[in-house]
Amino acid sequence: MYFAALLARTEDGWEASDTELDDVETLSDLADLAREASPDEDTVLVLIEQEDAWFGVVRVDGEEDPRIYVSDAAAAARSSYGEILLTDELLGRDPDDGADLDALDLDGTEDGESDGDDEDAESGPGAVASAESVPHGPVGDALILDDIGVSEKQLRLMSTDAVTEIAESLGASETLEAVR
């Protein structure tokens, strides 16, 4: 079970809205969605939580690049929403280190033919390498909320109901509960 909400800081305090992430495919899409929630270029937080597994915070301040924190990268990597947040930069990967298309060994399966090794494809060396490249535990900017009331230590200690804990720390729990 997922929950996603936008918290936009305004002159009158925090405004919350639940959000559908079905049309969001990239971090850029998510940042654009956040920016639409605050026409005055105020701070907007995107809070995403998968029950008992992981949570993520994306902070968008005007036109600046989004800042991201994910509580458990390995758990988030198994989620379509988590994959949006786990950028190469966040994971410390060089996007140019990807497979060189000229070096790929194409064995005739590129036209949709099966080579009969479907079971090995999921658990083969490539799958192991990608699983190892995603760390267990938190990744990203642990100071993402420090200047608005949630310290790095508090953020790292949050677990099962982090979205509610964050909203409480910001004084926005009633606002968030209204959209839950």
Q: How far apart are the first and last CA of the chain?
A: 13
Using CA atoms, how far apart are residues 168 and 180, in angstroms rounded to an integer?
14
Query: Residue 6 in contact with residue 44, Cβ under 8 Å?
Result: yes
Side-chain-side CA neighbours of residue 106 (13 Å): 10
Q: Is 137 helix (H, G, I), strand (E, B) or coil?
A: coil
- pLDDT at residue number 116: 46
- pLDDT at residue number 157: 93
Q: In sequence order, which residues have a C-beta less than 8 Å from that of residue 68 and are 6 or more positions away?
A: 27, 56, 57, 58, 59, 85, 87, 90, 140, 141, 144
- pLDDT at residue number 33: 92
- pLDDT at residue number 97: 57
Q: In sequence order, which residues have a C-beta less than 8 Å from that of residue 73 and are 6 or more positions away?
A: 82, 86, 91, 134, 135, 136, 137, 138, 139
Please state the pTM of the whole predicted model: 0.78
Report, as ranges of residue numbers, the positions in the chain whose pLDDT lies below 70. 95-132
Q: Is 29 helix (H, G, I), strand (E, B) or coil?
A: helix
- pLDDT at residue number 111: 46
- pLDDT at residue number 38: 83
- pLDDT at residue number 165: 93
- pLDDT at residue number 160: 74
Cα-based distances in Å from 59 to 2, 67, 116, 164: 19, 5, 45, 16
- In 51-137 the beta strands, taken as DSSP E runs, fall at 54-61, 67-70
- pLDDT at residue number 51: 83
